Amino acid sequence: MELNNEDDDKLTPRTVLGRRLRRLRENAGLAQRALADKVGYPHTYISRVERGEQLPSETLAEDLDTYFGTDGLIVELLTLAQDATIPDYGRDVVGNEDTAARIQVFGSSLIPGLLQTEDFARALFRESLPGESEEQIEERVVTRMRRKRVFDKTESPFYWAIMDEAALRRPVGGARCMAGQLRHIATAAESPRVAIQVLPFAQGEHPLLGGSLSLLTFRNGATIGYVESFSSGQPVESPGRILQLTQRFDMGRAKALPEGDSLDLVRRCLREYEHEVDS
The CATH code of the domain that includes 112 is 3.30.870.10
CA distance 12 to 103: 30
- Read off the pTM: 0.77
Cα radius of gyration rounded to whole Å, the chain: 21
Number of H helices, E strands in the chain: 12, 6
- Residues 7, 109 within the same domain: no
DSSP class of residue 154 equals T
108 shares a domain with 151? yes
Q: What is the pLDDT of residue 172?
A: 95
* Residue 38 and residue 106 in one domain: no
Q: State the residue range of the domain holding 173.
A: 91-117+147-278
How many domains is the chain built from? Answer: 2
Q: Note the pLDDT of residue 7.
A: 44
pLDDT in tens, the chain (279 residues): 344 444 445 788 889 999 999 999 999 999 999 999 999 999 999 999 999 888 898 899 999 999 999 999 999 898 888 777 776 656 667 778 888 999 999 988 889 999 999 999 999 999 988 888 888 899 889 889 988 989 998 889 999 999 999 999 999 999 999 999 999 999 999 999 999 999 999 988 877 777 788 999 999 999 988 887 655 667 788 889 899 999 989 999 999 999 999 999 999 999 999 999 998
259 CB burial (10 A radius; 0-12, 13-18, 19+): middle
One domain for residues 241 and 169? yes
CA–CA dist 66, 61 (Å, integer): 9
